[in-house]
Amino acid sequence: MILPVQKVMAIVPCWKESAADIEKFLQRRERISQKLEKMGMEFRLFFLDDGAAGLPTEAPRLIRHESNQGLAQTLIEGYEAAVAHEWESDIIIRIDSQEHDPSRIPEIADHMANTEADALFLPVCYWVKGEVRPKMMDIAVSMEKFVRALSPIDTPVIQSMYNVRFPLGFQAWRRDLLEKILPRLKEGARAFEHMTGKKVTWGLDLLAMLLAAHERSDKVDFLFGGWSEPWRENRDAEKIAEQAHRAEVMVKVAEYLGAHLKR
């Protein structure tokens, strides 16, 4: 069953983002709103202020931290506030200001308004200038393989792709699905800290995907999120191995929460 989309909310976590990154979002907000209005949709944009020094006073905030609390805690609080907000959005889009393109928001809303997708992920493909750019066909095949690996969970596939080839923090949710997985998402963050002695950071996005796929595997979809030149420190073998290990731990957390592993 395809459900209508009338209200679209975007949430943007902020900490060390530059004033230029933030201004990019504020300048595009009106154009996005106008496009969505032509589609019969309303739009709200909120920042998740995690002790961000560069966020203008007039910027709309959904939550505000006086000091940095970390991405995972900020996202969890942001999701809770978005789900409970009196405006009652139909979809909630989680987007970063540094590597994600806010002009894709109308396309996301259109896709979710015309398909049965309740969770939509937009992989950003790492590509460094001077290297051979991957073909879109190859990216699509890889992402289809990745989505299939979410439920039941295929750990080697997830380890080989998540945040190594494709960062997947660009996500969109039907509000009811996000509300449903939030308690387990919070429990998973605590479990990750117990297992590793460290607070969860980027891995929260992976856990959210695994929980969504476990809940509604037939209603998970993806669109291409664009190109991004990765931070150099994300390219070395040690960093890639660390990311793969964290992904493996997050898979164990998902299994602890009830998700199924591929046997």
Distance CA 158, CA 164 (A): 10
Distance CA 252, CA 207 (A): 10
- Quote the strand ranges of the chain, DSSP E: 7-14, 42-50, 61-65, 91-94, 119-121, 124-126, 171-174, 220-222, 226-228
- Res 10: pLDDT: 97
Distance CA 59, CA 56 (A): 5
Q: Confirm whether pTM is higher than 0.85.
A: yes
User: pLDDT for 133-172, tens place per residue?
Assistant: 889 999 999 999 999 999 999 999 998 888 877 888 999 9
Residue 93 has pLDDT above 80, yes or no: yes
Mean pLDDT for the stretch of residues 54-79: 92
User: pLDDT for 180-220, tens place per residue?
Assistant: 999 999 999 999 999 999 888 878 999 999 999 999 999 99
**β pairing state of 91-94 and 171-174:** antiparallel
Mean pLDDT for the stretch of residues 236-256: 85
Check residue 28 and give left, alpha or beta (phi > 0: left; psi -120 to 50: alpha).
alpha
- Domain boundaries defined on the chain: 7-124+166-227
Considering only CA atoms, which of 2, 26, 1, 31 is closest in space to residue 12? Answer: 26
Q: Which CATH architecture has domain 7-124+166-227?
A: Alpha-Beta Complex (3.90)
